[in-house]
């Protein structure tokens, strides 16, 4: 059984996700977070020293969820060719973005508003796919310019598809997922 303090901490993180989704970083209010949890405005400060500390914990919470999914995906594809690993990780990330649409607002927030520690934490979300793409490009002798282009195109495909799916412009079904998968695979057919 959880201690009440742990339960409250998790409630604050969940409420902070909603707060960031609705108000962004610049208008983030720890008071509204407390109100959402039906606790006093001082209660969050028992768990987080500042609003920035709470926002950092939100990003860490998102990372923790993603890293659990990433770990199981990488484990399942470890012995497969790099291209298959890239596609598997990318499709897992797209599924993550569509399964947790409330995280999308935070993941896509303008990085200029985040302090450096939050930026570093946020950067962990896409690091695995970027590392796999870099490793693949190096293994086949692609130039740095091609690696940057492929990274850009793959990220654009994933983020664009997530936005379209979460907005209802595209269905979250096997046909849409196949379209994204084929597009990523096609990108690696090109030199």
Residue 97, C-beta contacts closer than 8 angstroms, at least 6 positions apart: 103, 104, 107, 158, 159, 162, 166
State the pLDDT confidence band at 191, using cuts at 50, 70 and 90.
Answer: low
pTM exceeds 0.75: yes
The answer to whether 160 and 152 are in contact (CB under 8 A) is: no
Count helices and strands (H / E) in the chain: 8, 0
Taking 90 as the threshold, does the pLDDT of residue 4 lie above it?
A: no
* Cα separation, 28 vs 8, whole angstroms: 19
Nearest to 189 by CA among 134, 150, 155: 150
Q: Kindly indicate the confidence band of residue 3, based on its pLDDT and cuts at 50, 70 and 90.
A: low
Helix extents (H) in 24-115: 30-36, 51-77, 82-99, 101-107
Work out whether the CA dihedral 48, 53, 55, 59 comes out positive or negative. negative
**Average of per-residue pLDDT across 77-96:** 93
Mean pLDDT taken over the chain: 88
Q: How confident is the model at residue 2 (pLDDT cuts 50, 70, 90)?
A: very low
Query: How confident is the model at residue 132, as a pLDDT?
Result: 86
Q: How confident is the model over 138-174, as pLDDT tens digits? A: 999 999 999 999 999 999 999 999 999 999 999 999 9
170/27: higher pLDDT: 170
CB proximity list for 19: less than 8 A, separation 6 or greater: 28, 29, 32, 33, 36
For residue 163, what pLDDT is reported? Answer: 94
**pLDDT at residue 125, as a whole number:** 81
Helix, strand, or coil here: 80? coil
């Amino acid at each position: 059984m959880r201690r009440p303090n742990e339960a409250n901490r998790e409630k604050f993180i969940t409420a902070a996700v909603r707060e960031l989704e609705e108000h962004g970083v610049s208008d983030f209010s720890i008071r509204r977070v407390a109100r959402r949890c039906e606790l006093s405005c001082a209660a969050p400060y028992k768990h987080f020293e500042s609003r920035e500390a709470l926002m950092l914990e939100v990003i860490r919470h998102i990372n923790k969820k993603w890293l659990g999914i990433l770990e199981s995906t990488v484990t399942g594809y470890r012995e497969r060719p790099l291209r298959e690993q890239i596609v598997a990780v990318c499709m897992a990330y797209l599924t993550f973005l569509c399964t947790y649409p409330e995280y999308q607002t935070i993941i896509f927030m303008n990085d200029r508003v985040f302090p450096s520690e939050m930026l570093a934490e946020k950067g962990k979300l896409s690091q695995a796919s970027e590392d796999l793409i870099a490793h693949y490009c190096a293994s086949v002798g692609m130039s740095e310019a091609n690696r940057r282009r492929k990274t850009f195109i793959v990220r654009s495909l994933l983020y664009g598809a997530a936005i379209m799916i979460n907005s209802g412009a595209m269905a979250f079904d096997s046909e849409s997922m196949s379209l994204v998968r084929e597009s990523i695979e096609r990108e690696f057919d090109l030199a």
